[in-house]
Structure 1
Amino acid sequence: MMILKDILYKVTLNTVVGSTGVSINNIHFDSRNIKKADLFVAVTGSVVDGHKFIDVAIKSGATGIICETLPKNLVEGVSYIEVDSSTKALAIIASNFYGSPSENLKLVGVTGTNGKTTIASLLWQLFKKAGYKVGLLSTVKIIVDNTEHKATHTTPDSLTINKYLKEMNEAGVEFCFMEVSSHGIHQNRIEGLCFEGSIFTNLSHDHLDYHNTFAEYRDVKKAFFDGLSAKAFALVNTDDKNGLVMLQNTKAKKYTYALKGYADYKAQILENQFGGLLLKLNNSEVWTRLVGNFNAYNVLAIYATAELLGLEKVEILRMISELESVSGRFQYTISDEKITAIVDYAHTPDALKNVLETINSIRTKNEELITVVGCGGDRDKIKRPKMGHIASALSTKVIFTSDNPRSEKPEAILEEIEKGVEPQNFKKIVTISDRKQAIKMACQLAQPNDIILIAGKGHETYQEIKGERFDFDDYKIVQEFLKQLQK
């Protein structure tokens, strides 16, 4: 329980009606969760406007209301606080309510189109190996030291973030690594958090269903760096032209990493094979089990971050060699018939291109590269033909299939993907809307030494169709079909 005026510390208030001296038991932005003496924050969402549920919240016992527009009928005994942005207020209130937990550990945010999950997860692994208590807030899972929780969003809502950060404080966690999505930044979910540092990976076509233009998408990412303090560090990939854009207005200490251009942290790929990478990191050689050019960038970012956080170089290199790949990120299995099946989360044109180019750089070209790929429904439609073009151009055979169709018809999504296929590649493609049957077909087509790539869903263990989630794990399904072929 806290006093309302204490929860409102650092929140910009427009109008206050009623007392700020009332006690608050809990905070919610979903009126269905409100109980006696709770604070209800009316958030204007993309689908639902929380202001419509202020009366419901009060009937359920809310004694405080945060809103952007005061209701016409004010209930006596209820405190109303009018603000410019309910989401921004919610984030600051959440931090205050949980005792500013981000200030009691070293929080590092990772943003960019690709690589966020891998970098955040591997940093968690590395710092655990170094003997620290570590937290993780990622797409795949949330970890408080050794306790795992399921994740529902890349960047959770601000109440959830601060709740878990508080748990981390109580568990003695010293470092926390967090994925920071463009949605999370734009919706003010990270407002009020104290970051020790931030990492920018890259920027390519994604989420233009949400951000209207690429420039808007870029500027939202940049806002994260603009808000860093002078005590923090900003580490950016300068092989991406947007890397230096991120640094333009930041007060943070600036550091760069790159494989191609000049940077503070440099890497060179000495060997690249399915078993892993041999890298030269700032004049030191290291072997890693991670595969591909894109993972060379990820390893370099991890190396740089660990050093900026005070770990010894020799120890960092030793631990990098012990890191295990992240679930659904270039996760592969090899059957008794020597068929290699790779499951990867690649769901953007750039990510798919990176994975396919990596496989093509390693394979001998005597094998077939069979790609199974689709695109999610109710999401950015512009990228669909681009995905079709890349998959058909860089594979020897392609099976277009459903990803998470959500409320859209799978056949309509597949038609849009096919529009990107050039005439000379038509003979390579097959369309099977049932994802399980598509994976089965890929396994039946594969001969010894062939490679199957199943892209788009990675770590996800479900398929979302017409509002329902069905159990579906690409990795388990391909393993089952490959075993059936062995019988």
Structure 2
Amino acid sequence: MKLLKDILYGVGLNAVSGDTNVLINQVHFDSRQIGMDDVFVAIKGLQVDGHKFIAKAIDAGVKAVVCEVMPEMVINGITYIQVKDSQQALAVMAANFYDNPSKNLKLVGVTGTNGKTTISTLLYNLFKSAGYKVGLISTIKIMVDDKEFATTHTTPDSLTINKCLDLMSQAGVEFCFMEVSSHGLHQKRAEGLHFQGAVFTNLSHDHLDYHKTFAAYRDTKKLLFDGLTKTAFALTNLDDKNGAVMLQNTKAKKLSYSLKSMTDYRGQILERQLDGQLLKVDDNELWTKLIGDFNAYNILAIYAVAIELGLERLEVLRLISELQTVDGRFQYFVSKNKITAIVDYAHTPDALKNVLNTINTLRTGNEKVITVVGCGGDRDKSKRPVMGHIASEMSQQAIFTSDNPRTEEPATIIQEMEAGVEPQNTRKVLSIENRRQAIRTACKLAVANDIILVAGKGHETYQETNGVRTEFDDFKELKIALKEIEG
């Protein structure tokens, strides 16, 4: 148990009613998890206002309530803390409750539209291979050295983050690599964390349903860099037009990487093949199994972070050459019939374009590229016709299908994708709502040397419809379908 006044250290307080010199058992923002002697933080969410559950939390035995709006009736024996921003207060309180665990390890945050998972995961793998105890907080999973925990958000809530960082600290973890999403930054989930470094990958069309404007989306990403201290490093992709913006006003050591510009860390693609590519990094040649320009950028970021964290250059290059593809990120296999099947998480226009560019660069010209793609429901609708245009323009055959429709009608989503198809490409498009059937159709249409891309869901092992998740794995479905065809 901890004193409430200690948990509140660094929180901007508007008003206090009651005693802060009381012992608190746990901090919660979900009234369903409240127990005796806890503190309840009432948050105004997008769908639910936690202030409506203050009375329920008190009935469950809380000692204190943190809120933005004081209740009309206050109860004797309960401490009420009024703050300007409950989300920010929760993040600082979470860090204090777990004794600021991010100070005990070197935490690096990775932000940007694409590449966050790949960079974070591969940095984790690289440092593990180098013999260190390492932590990972990513879209796919949370790792406390060798122990794995499931995750449901790119950036978990601040209590989960600090609880995991505390477990890492107790386990002797030295480095932690963390995806930091725009949602997480906007909702203050990373407040109170001490970052040793931050990485910006790129910025393209995504999450405008949430942020409304591209400028707001960009500026939210920049918050990670604005909060860095002068002892940290800020690493940005200078080939992205928003890269330099991230470094404006940061107190951290400013660093950059690129394939096209003069930067601190510079790379060049020397040779491309379907099983890997040859890069030149800081005048050293490097063969990697990771394919595509986007992965060349990812490798440069990984290389730069490892160097900045004290690893030796040649050792880093050796370790990078041994890295394997992250699940669902240009993950591929070749069938007995010599059909190349690729699964990629590309769920934004820019990511889909990058993957198809990579595939088309590796083609000899005789193979068909068959792309199976959908768009998620209850998400940014404006990118749907753009995704439809890219898939139909850059493939010899495009099959539009269901992704995670959530509460929307799959047929409506597909129609919005079809709206982006230009007249000359309509003959190349099939619309098959059932994702399993769409994948099987792609496999039936393919012949030797053709390339099938199944995009949008990547590592996900489920499909979400009306709040229900059913088991579905693109990679497994591709293997089953191609095996059936091969007999």
Short-chain TM bin: over 0.9
Provide the residue aligned with 1:476 in structure 2: 476
CA distance in 2, matches of 1:345, 1:74: 49
Q: CA RMSD in A?
A: 0.4
Partner SS state of residue 56, structure 1: helix
Q: Residues 401-434 of structure 1: CA distance to partner in whole angstroms, max 9, x if unpaired?
A: 0000000000000000000000000000000000
CA distance in 2, matches of 1:486, 1:218: 47
Structure 1 runs not aligned, ≥5 long: none
Provide the residue aligned with 1:262 in structure 2: 262
What code does the residue aligned with 1:454 have?
A: V
Provide the residue aligned with 2:93 in structure 1: 93
CA distance in 2, matches of 1:409, 1:22: 51
What code does the residue aligned with 1:265 have?
A: Y
Partner SS state of residue 195, structure 2: coil
Provide the residue aligned with 1:457 in structure 2: 457
Provide the residue aligned with 1:448 in structure 2: 448
Provide the residue aligned with 1:237 in structure 2: 237
Provide the residue aligned with 1:219 in structure 2: 219
Partner SS state of residue 188, structure 1: coil
Provide the residue aligned with 2:26 in structure 1: 26
CA distance in 2, matches of 1:269, 1:225: 29
CA distance in 2, matches of 1:402, 1:452: 17
CA distance in 2, matches of 1:169, 1:281: 33
Provide the residue aligned with 2:344 in structure 1: 344
CA distance in 2, matches of 1:212, 1:339: 41
Partner SS state of residue 13, structure 2: coil
CA distance in 2, matches of 1:9, 1:36: 22
1:46 Cα deviation after fit: 0.2
Provide the residue aligned with 1:411 in structure 2: 411
1:272 Cα deviation after fit: 1.1
Partner SS state of residue 75, structure 1: coil
1:282 Cα deviation after fit: 1.1
CA distance in 2, matches of 1:76, 1:57: 15
Partner SS state of residue 189, structure 1: coil
1:286 Cα deviation after fit: 0.6
CA distance in 1, matches of 2:393, 2:32: 50
Partner SS state of residue 430, structure 1: strand
CA distance in 1, matches of 2:50, 2:77: 21
Q: Residues 183-209 of structure 1: CA distance to partner in whole angstroms, max 9, x if unpaired?
A: 000000000000000000000000000
Given the alignment of the two structures, is residue 301 of structure 1 paired with residue 292 of structure 2, yes or no?
A: no
Equivalences for residues 87-486 of structure 1 within 5 A: 87-486=87-486
How many corresponding residue pairs? 487
1:372 Cα deviation after fit: 0.0
Partner SS state of residue 354, structure 1: helix
What code does the residue aligned with 2:427 have?
A: K
Q: Residues 373-408 of structure 1: CA distance to partner in whole angstroms, max 9, x if unpaired?
A: 000000000000000000000000000000000000
Provide the residue aligned with 2:11 in structure 1: 11
1:40 Cα deviation after fit: 0.3
Provide the residue aligned with 2:83 in structure 1: 83
CA distance in 1, matches of 2:387, 2:361: 19
CA distance in 1, matches of 2:48, 2:365: 52
1:467 Cα deviation after fit: 1.1
What code does the residue aligned with 1:482 have?
A: L
Give every structure 1 segment of 4 or more consecutive aligned residues whose post-TM-superposition deviation is greater than 4 Å. Answer: none
Partner SS state of residue 336, structure 1: coil
Partner SS state of residue 403, structure 1: coil
1:223 Cα deviation after fit: 1.3
CA distance in 2, matches of 1:55, 1:273: 63
CA distance in 2, matches of 1:103, 1:284: 35
Provide the residue aligned with 1:62 in structure 2: 62
CA distance in 2, matches of 1:199, 1:2: 34
What code does the residue aligned with 2:133 have?
A: K
CA distance in 2, matches of 1:179, 1:12: 27
CA distance in 2, matches of 1:304, 1:30: 40
Partner SS state of residue 196, structure 1: strand
What code does the residue aligned with 2:414 have?
A: L
Q: How does the TM-score come out when normalised to structure 1?
A: 1.00
What code does the residue aligned with 1:205 have?
A: H
Structure 2 runs not aligned, ≥5 long: none
Q: How does the TM-score come out when normalised to structure 2?
A: 1.00
1:466 Cα deviation after fit: 1.1
CA distance in 1, matches of 2:183, 2:411: 28
